[in-house]
Amino acid sequence: MAGRGTASHKEVESQSGGTPFRERQGSTEKGRKRSSREKENEMTVEQLCEALEERFPRSLSCMWDHDGKMVLPEGRREVKKVLCCLDCTDGAIEKAKAEGCELIVSHHPLLFRPMYALDREEPNACRALELYSSGIALFSFHTRFDCGKGGVNDELSALFGLEEVCSFPVEGLPMGRIGKLPKAFSAKELAEKVKAVLGCKSLRLTLDRKEIRRLAVLGGSEGDAFKEALAAGADGYLTGEAGYHEMLDAADRGLCMVVAGHDYTENPAAEALGRQIKELLPSAEVLLHREERISTL
């Protein structure tokens, strides 16, 4: 949605034209109120980052995580267009440049691992340099967005129509979500539901469980959190990545684990981030970017 334009002002007649001062004063007061509302609906890049960090504070991030401000060429620039994505890829940057975005907000941090040199052979260094030279800021909200209200795992819960949803702890944080499915599913029925909802062409699952009523969801690489899902009362557990032995262990304990792919379980993050930005800054135009760079043949 485009930002509001400047309100048109009715021309004020001269005193000799007979316009009463009281009416003109009222018109000025209305104009001031409109101007005040417009200013309230404006944010700089830095202000929007601060507002997002109030909703998703660093205290919700895992100890090993490195998210937040990634690239900040000009923090005082007004935000009119924002691109939301899972990863800040070359494609995302090109789209942001073509659309005139001031800001990209990604789920995965671009600068996650330590970088000791700005080397043209290092893809993420090139991306950071391209963003900075183009005047486009980049923020990332990673594990704190897994934990926070309205984040990735709340989005997954909504997509699967879970009822009576509550969180369960992973690494001491309220990261996982568990709720009651609208109806009981067999393992194969749940697998088909996951493929239809998330758009993945294939997945891996354990088949021993006959009936799944309570589903735990935790996007990304969280195969080792199946014990926490079990402790929370789950019959089924949806995540993005899990090892062979983790899946065997889950099956031995009577849990149906569905492994749908890291990207497929976290692609909903872009839309969820966009929704948060629209709540904070309704005048901003929010664009979504999704690309499939890893495929299953």
Cα angle: 86, vertex 88, 92; to 5 degrees: 95
Are 114 and 92 in contact by the 8 Å Cβ rule? The answer is no
pLDDT at 295: 82
**Integer Cα distance of 181 and 296 in angstroms:** 28
What would the pLDDT profile of 3-33 be if each residue is shown by its tens digit? 333 333 333 233 333 333 233 334 434 444 4
Say what the pLDDT of residue 7 is: 37
Question: What is the rounded distance in angstroms from the CA atom of residue 181 to the CA atom of residue 155?
Answer: 15
Domain 45-145+269-288 has CATH 3.40.1390.30: yes
Residue range(s) in the chain whose domain bears CATH number 3.40.1390.30 = 45-145+269-288, 146-266
pLDDT at position 12 = 28
pLDDT at residue 40 in the model: 63
Q: What angle do CA 266, 206, 203 make, to 5 degrees?
A: 40
pLDDT at 210: 82
Distances from the Cα of 197 to the Cα of 128, 183, 200, 267, 292, angstroms: 33, 16, 8, 11, 16
Mean pLDDT by 10 residues, the chain (297 residues): 35 32 37 44 96 97 96 97 98 98 98 85 94 98 98 98 98 98 96 97 90 97 97 97 97 96 97 98 97 84
Handedness of CA 193, 205, 288, 44 (dihedral sign): positive
146-266, what's its fold?
Answer: 3.40.1390
Mind listing the pLDDT tens digit for each residue in 177-229? Answer: 999 999 999 999 999 999 999 999 999 999 987 899 999 999 999 999 999 99
pTM score? 0.85
- Does residue 247 contact residue 206 with C-beta atoms inside 8 Å? yes
